[in-house]
Amino acid sequence: MVRLDHALRAWATASSEHSVPLKQAQQRIRRGEVSVDGTVVTEPRHQVVPGVESIACDGSPVPAGEHSFCLMHKPPGYICQRHPRDPSVYDLVPEHLRRPDLAACGRLDRDTTGMLLFATDGGVQSLLLHPTSRAVLQEDCSALRPGAQAAFEAGMQLADGLQCAPAGLEAVGASTVRVRVHEGHFHQAERFLSGRCTGTRLERRLMGTWATDVTGVSSQPKNVAAR
C-alpha cells in the first residue's frame, strides 16, 4: 500500500529523464486528473495498492512499479532526512539505488548507529512503524542502577510527563544493555536511560522482523528481499 501522490510521482519520474516534484503530482490529483478503479480521487494521501487497484492519469494507465528495499548499517553523524546541507543517510545511497519514493523506515538520531531499512512500499513502512512491531536498541553503558528494569517493564513516565508503553530492558554483558520498545518517541531510548546508566553509544539491532548483525552490514545500502 502506498500514497497515491507517491505512486503517481514514481510513474511520472520513470517516464521522464528527471525527478518529478511531489508537489506536481499532488496538483494533478487535486485537479481531478487521477482516478482509482474508475473513480476520480482528489486526495493526494489516498492509500492505493498498485497492481491490485487500477490507477489512471488523464486516461493513461499508471503501471505498478517494482518495489525496492535497501538495508544500511547507519554510521554516526548522519541525519535520516533529505537535507541540502547536513550530512544525510540519503547521500550514502548509491546512484543506481536512488528513487524519489525511497524512504527510510523509522528514523534514527544523528549519532545513533545500526539497522536502517529503506523501502518504496508504504505498506511495509506502516507495518514496521506500527505499535505491534518492535525495535531493539543496544547501548554501551555503565552498570544499571537498581530498579531500572522494573521501571521499564511497568511503563515509564518521562520528565516532560510523557507516559511510555511498557518496554524491555536487559543487561548484555558487563557494559551493554538491550532495550526493546514498541513506540518511537523523540530521543526515547536516551531519555529512558538517563540517570539509570551512562551511555556512550546507541545502536539499533532489530526492527519488526528485520534484524542485522552489525558486523556484516555495510554503510553502503544494498538491495534486500522482503521477508
Helix (H) or strand (E) holding 122: helix 122-129
From start to end of 43-181, where are the E strands? Answer: 47-48, 55-57, 60-61, 69-74, 103-105, 113-119, 135-141, 168-171, 176-181
Q: How far apart are CA 17 and CA 202, in angstroms?
A: 40
Tens-place pLDDT, residues 45-69: 998 887 789 999 999 998 877 778 8
CATH tag, 69-129+213-223: 3.30.70.580
Q: DSSP string covering 188-226, please?
A: HHHHHHTTT--EEEEEEEEETTEE--TTS--SS-EE---
Same fold, 2-61 and 135-207: no
Tens-place pLDDT, residues 64-73: 777 788 888 8
pTM of the predicted model as reported, rounded to 2 decimal places: 0.61
Task: Please report the pLDDT score of residue 214 as a whole number.
Answer: 42
Active centre residues (catalytic): 109
Q: Taking the domains of the chain in order of start, what are their residue ranges?
A: 2-61, 69-129+213-223, 135-207
CATH tag, 2-61: 3.10.290.10
Task: Please report the pLDDT score of residue 198 as a whole number.
Answer: 64
State the average pLDDT over residues 139-165. Answer: 77
Tell me yes or no: is domain 135-207 CATH 1.10.3720.10: no
